[in-house]
């Protein structure tokens, strides 16, 4: 196998030199570290993705789009994204209450940076699904003897 990364059939993807990712501010190991800290949390990337899809987004629409998230967690993650300057919350001071969320310019640029990850997930969804199914099957086989031994005792 050739180490030439210019071959389009090569599974290796060229990675920019680390020097381009060296931070100028202390506290982060690289730019990826800074990005991951901002989007840390299971739901933040999905929230950013769905807000980016349709402009200002109502809370209920986000709740339906980000499946399996609890109200408490969605509210917490939205507050953190707002605090970090990625999401803008607009309260219309109406009865019944009407609030929507939109991306700030920094939030839009981060959402655009997530597009390649979304594309990768779409392109590899079948393989990722297969891998998770294998992992789940392996984990269930590992826990099964524990359940059986608990019944025997």
Average pLDDT, consecutive stretches of 10 residues, N- to C-terminus, the chain (153 residues): 46 58 70 88 93 89 93 96 96 91 96 92 94 90 64 55
Identify the bridge partners of residue 91 per DSSP, sorted by sequence position. 99
| Predicted pLDDT at 86 | 97
| Predicted pLDDT at 4 | 46
Identify the bridge partners of residue 100 per DSSP, sorted by sequence position. 58, 90
Other Cβ atoms within 10 Å of 73 Cβ, number: 14
User: Residue 65 class from Cβ within 10 Å (0-12 exposed, 13-18 middle, 19+ buried)?
Assistant: middle
| Predicted pLDDT at 1 | 44
| Predicted pLDDT at 21 | 61
| Predicted pLDDT at 124 | 94
CB 134 within 8 A of CB 59: no
CB 110 within 8 A of CB 39: yes
């Amino acid at each position: 196998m050739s180490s030439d990364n210019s071959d389009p059939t090569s599974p290796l993807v060229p990675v920019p030199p680390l020097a381009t990712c060296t931070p100028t501010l202390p506290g982060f190991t690289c730019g990826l570290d800074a990005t991951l800290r901002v989007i840390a949390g299971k739901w933040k990337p999905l929230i950013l993705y769905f807000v980016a899809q349709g402009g200002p987004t109502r809370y209920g629409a986000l709740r339906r789009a980000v499946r399996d998230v609890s109200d408490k967690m969605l509210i917490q993650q939205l507050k953190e994204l707002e605090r970090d300057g990625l999401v803008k919350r607009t309260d219309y001071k109406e009865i019944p209450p009407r609030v929507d969320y939109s991306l700030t310019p920094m939030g839009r640029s981060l959402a655009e940076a997530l597009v390649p990850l979304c594309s990768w997930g779409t392109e590899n969804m079948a393989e990722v699904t297969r891998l998770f199914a294998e992992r789940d099957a392996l984990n269930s086989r590992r826990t099964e003897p524990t359940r059986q031994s608990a019944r025997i005792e």
